[in-house]
Amino acid sequence: MRRGWCWVGAGLAVVTLSIIIAVPLSLMRATGDFKSTFITKCERFPGKSARHDCLGIWQAFEQAYVGKDPCQVPVESYDHLLTTSPFEPACNRTMFWSKTKDLVHEFTMHRDCFLTAEDTLLGFILDELTWCGKEGSKETFTADCPGWTTCVHNPVRSFWKRVSAAFADVACGDVTSMLNGSITTPFSSTSIFATIEVKRLKSPNVKSLNVVLTTNANAVTNCDNASLKDLQRELDRGINYSCKEVNETKIKRCISDPSIPCRACW
């Protein structure tokens, strides 16, 4: 395309026209690519012997946003999807996180001690993907979609808020959260963990919340951090709270050595 800009006269007009045509065509092709990715990841979802109705899940998923203004897809739009593919309780294995995504998912990828929202079927399929619809169109687009902070009710943001709520709703037993000790506010009042997940943890289904505060050479906080005191106050009465500072080196050692019992990882 860069070489095209060197053309002159009629050649420049052709290049300009090709740009105008190419953008919408590439967006239209995105539907098939995205659907194929969705179905393929659904069929390859690990850890389950039972087969999923991946086409049915896809159809419930696209109903949430197809044909809609990409800034007008509220959280409730995904209610039907969550009915089609509900979460199952993972008592004593539920793991929440905030600003520790890479480390948490490296851990859950190699160890079966814990389960994050991204390790569930829907989370596994849609993690790191972008999608949206447009008014008057039956297509799914993956380009020119609003960013996470562009508008409140965009399809991706609403999906993860709805999934986070559903995941927290089925939490039971001893629950764990991995937070980042290298930032000044490990429990941010604007995070999904604070605004959605913590608020939906309810006693007696949830017995305890155990915070793993990751530390390294850049650690700036500890378990006495003021934001963690806020977390304790936010917890439903009856849920026990604990916090432990754990060096990332120890966690990575558990990742690389499966002979280490999960309980010894922190």
Residue of 4, 124, 139 lying closest to 57 (CA atoms): 124
Catalytic residue among 54, 145, 172, 243: 172
**At residue 57, what are phi and psi to the nearest 5 degrees?**
-65, -40
Please return the burial class of 81, using the count of CB atoms within 10 Å of its CB with bins 0-12, 13-18 and 19+: buried
Please confirm, yes or no, whether 172 is among the known catalytic residues: yes
The reply to whether 151 belongs to the active site is: no
Tokens representing residue 188 in the block: 């941010």
Catalytic residue among 91, 151, 223, 262: 91
CB contact at 8 A, 232 and 266: no
Catalytic residues: 91, 172
